[in-house]
Structure 1
């Protein structure tokens, strides 16, 4: 029995950017290491987990940072879906202070400076948690 609250180490299986992502886009993850109950492996590393983008905003003018939030849905083990909880939200570096300095030094041209978009690279680690107790057979 895989208990609610158990750690599920995942990695992003794709690159993701606030510049190109849209709300509702699917996001793929991979199980980073074997999932065990006691000493018994119930899910092999590399199986897929799924989620979706819940918020994506490009970096804006005046140094406004990008914003990207992802919701985890489930890990697929054979025909069983293990529902996951946990989110990863990230905000880009704000360039507000440098924008203000540029505006003072160069007038309105300084307003063209952008904040930073969020870029999450494939392989970036993410920790999720089992949402509900689920019975799983040992992995083949």
Structure 2
């Protein structure tokens, strides 16, 4: 039995960016290290999936990009192990908010109109970035694949 709140270390399989992500889109991960469930070992590299919960591209006026992701499940031999939350473990990839620069530029004569064209930064999470999720509920895990 895999108990709820067990930490699960994942790795992003693909780059995810606030510039190209779409709400409700699937996000792919891989298990970053073996997960031991009693005598059963869920091997490193096992696929996991999540979704884009919220995305907003960087915008005019210096607004930074926003990206909220959630882990949903680990796919082990046809069994879905439910996951929750997601926290990238590397440096924060927050889109840089440059609204202060846009505001400052608006006070410069003849630059006020141009200040609205200052954009903030996008959020980019590179493939290979580690992230921590947790098991959402107590889940029995079997070493034998489920039959369809």
**TM-score, scaled relative to structure 1:** 0.89
- Please name the residue that 1:136 is paired with: 141
> Residue 96 in 1 paired to residue 99 in 2?
yes
* Corresponding position of 1:42: 41
Aligned to 2:13: 13
* 2:115 paired with 1:110: yes
Task: Name the structure where helix makes up a greater proportion of residues.
Answer: 1
**Which ranges in structure 2 are unaligned for 5 or more consecutive residues?**
none
Distance 1:44 1:131 in 2: 19
Alpha-carbon distance in structure 2 between the residues aligned to 1:45 and 1:53: 23
Structure 1 partner of 2:2:
2
Q: 1:124 aligns with which of 129, 140, 143?
A: 129
Whole-Å Cα distance in 2 between the matches of residues 5 and 48 of structure 1? 19
User: 1:49·1:75 contact (CA, 8 Å) conserved in 2?
Assistant: yes
Indicate the residue corresponding to 2:30 in structure 1: 30
Matches within 5 A, 1:72-83: 72-83=71-82
Q: Distance in 1 between matches of 2:116 and 2:139?
A: 53
CA distance in 2, matches of 1:69, 1:37: 29
Deviation, 1:107, is: 2.2
Runs of 4 or more above 4 Å deviation: 88-91
TM-score for both structures, normalised by structure 2: 0.85
Give the gaps of 5 or more residues in structure 1: none
